[in-house]
Structure 1
Amino acid sequence: MTKHKTGTREEWLTARLELLDAEKALTRRSDELARQRQELPWVRIDKEYRFDTDEGPASLADLFRGRSQLLVYHFMFGPDYGAGCPTCSNIADGFNGIGVHLAHHDVTLCAVSRAPLAKVQAYKRRMGWSFPWASSYESDFNHDFHVAHTEEEWQSGAVEYNYRMMDVGASEIDTAMAADSGTDWDTYRREGPGMSAFAREDDIVYHTYSTYERGLDILWGMYQWLDRAPLGRNETGLWWRRHDEYDSR
């Protein structure tokens, strides 16, 4: 017998309608936040960034692939990682499906990592992904957008991430994710997850938005489904895996 609260259909409907009011308020608030994001001032990017892609060397403007908008997912895959971050890998599982729709709405979705292109390509083949993924190896791009930090920066006591100075100790989950990425914690934490948005007008590229940490939750499609499942996220430790690492169910 379940220990969860039970009730009649009428009691469920009454509670559900109360929740619906709260959900509608959240939706309206989310719409307002989207409008505020779009009203942020654009920052012109004059620095020349170079990337390695499947098509050859590319500039930041080239990553747009002829479109006017670019969404970059800062994928945690450093030069010394043995594999891409398992959490970033989980998030990226949704990119193939939505990328084609974004492309037909004048938006390019592209992942960027500091791992050399050969490592990116090998991991991409393993995961069966087809979305664009560029290597920023030997570029300042990840550092300038605060998703990569040097060992010396961490040793200084704090680094800039998510719009604040912070130092991060290793939790049990963090250590496990570092090991799953084929590296140690000190190396693993040199990369950070995030996403950045860019616009291109008259051959000028502008930075329009970036978000990090829990700001990425909404992009993690699995969580949006779990938040509506009977037991919610119901998390214990590092329960998620890369899609090719789960036991058969």
Structure 2
Amino acid sequence: MTMHKTGTREEWLDARIELLAAEKEHTRRGDVLAQQRQALPWVKVDKQYRFQTPQGTKTLADLFKGRSQLLVYHFMYGPDYTAGCPSCSSIADGFNGIVVHLENHDVAFTAVSRAPLEKLEAFKERMGWSFDWASSGGSDFNADFAVYFTEEQQRDGSIGYNFRREPAVKSWAPSDSEGPAGKMAAMSGTNLATYVLDRPGLSAFVMEDGEIYHTYSCYSRGVDGIWGMYQWLDRAPKGRNENGVWWRHHDKYEHAA
């Protein structure tokens, strides 16, 4: 017998209508937040970045593909990884279907990672993805947009991620590898210290009169809104119902016979 509160259809409807008021307020607040994002000052991008793509070397301007806006997903896939971060991979599973709509609404999209292009292409084929994915290896792009840090920054406490300074980490205890980040590092084929040098995020850019401007970035749980599975789980009867890292690369789940 369920331990959850039960009731009649009429009781459910009363409670649902009460919840609807809260949901509508949440939606209105989301609209206000979107306007606040769009009202942020634009910062001119003066540095010339180079990216490796299947079509050859491209500039940041090239990634716009003739459109006025560009959205970049900072995908955690460092040069020493053997697979993409499982969290980023779960988020990326939702990209294929939305790209055509963005591109037909004056918005270009690409994922960007530091790993060599051949690694990205191989993993992309394994995952069955079709969205654009560029390698920023050898450029300052990831560091400049606060999604890559060095071991020295890790040790001296100068990592500034998600607009906060992180405490110094001189060394990692063996038990750290048993935590959520350690488990995801293992699924990415690397160690914890290396894994956390790369970070997830989303950045937005606009081009006007031939000039590129950085308009917005978000990090950490700031990308929850584009993590499709969580939007569904938040509407499931038991919600996220989590106990640690439960997700996998989508081809690594043990499916029932």
The match for 2:188 is 181
Post-superposition offset of 1:164: 1.2
The match for 1:13 is 13
Which among 237, 240, 253 is matched to residue 246 of structure 1? 253
Structure 2's unaligned 5+ residue stretches are none
The match for 1:129 is 129
Which among 195, 201, 206 is matched to residue 199 of structure 1? 206
Normalised by the length of structure 2, the TM-score is 0.95
Post-superposition offset of 1:201: 1.0
Query: Matched residues in 2 for 1:157 and 1:178: separation?
Result: 21
Post-superposition offset of 1:166: 1.1
Moved over 3 A (4+): 167-171
SS at the partner of 1:78? coil
SS at the partner of 1:6? coil
The match for 1:34 is 34
Query: Matched residues in 1 for 2:3 and 2:238: separation?
Result: 12
The match for 2:154 is 154
Alignment of 1:58-137 (within 5 A): 58-137=58-137
Structure 1's unaligned 5+ residue stretches are none
Post-superposition offset of 1:236: 1.4
> What RMSD over aligned residues (CA atoms) do the two structures have, in Å?
1.1
Show CA shifts across 1:164-187 (max 9, x none).
101377461111000000000000
Post-superposition offset of 1:238: 1.4
Contact 2:157 2:165 in 1 (8 A): no
Post-superposition offset of 1:157: 2.3
Query: Matched residues in 1 for 2:157 and 2:35: separation?
Result: 37
Give 1:96's aligned amino acid.
N
Q: Percent of aligned pairs with the same residue?
A: 65
Normalised by the length of structure 1, the TM-score is 0.98
Post-superposition offset of 1:10: 1.1
Post-superposition offset of 1:202: 1.3
Query: Matched residues in 1 for 2:191 and 2:255: separation?
Result: 29
Query: Matched residues in 2 for 1:16 and 1:135: separation?
Result: 47
Count the aligned residue pairs.
249
SS at the partner of 1:236? coil
| 1:221 and 2:220 are equivalent in the alignment | no
Give 2:251's aligned amino acid.
D
Show CA shifts across 1:153-211 (max 9, x none).
10112410001101377461111000000000000000000000000111111000000
Query: Matched residues in 2 for 1:121 and 1:151: separation?
Result: 27
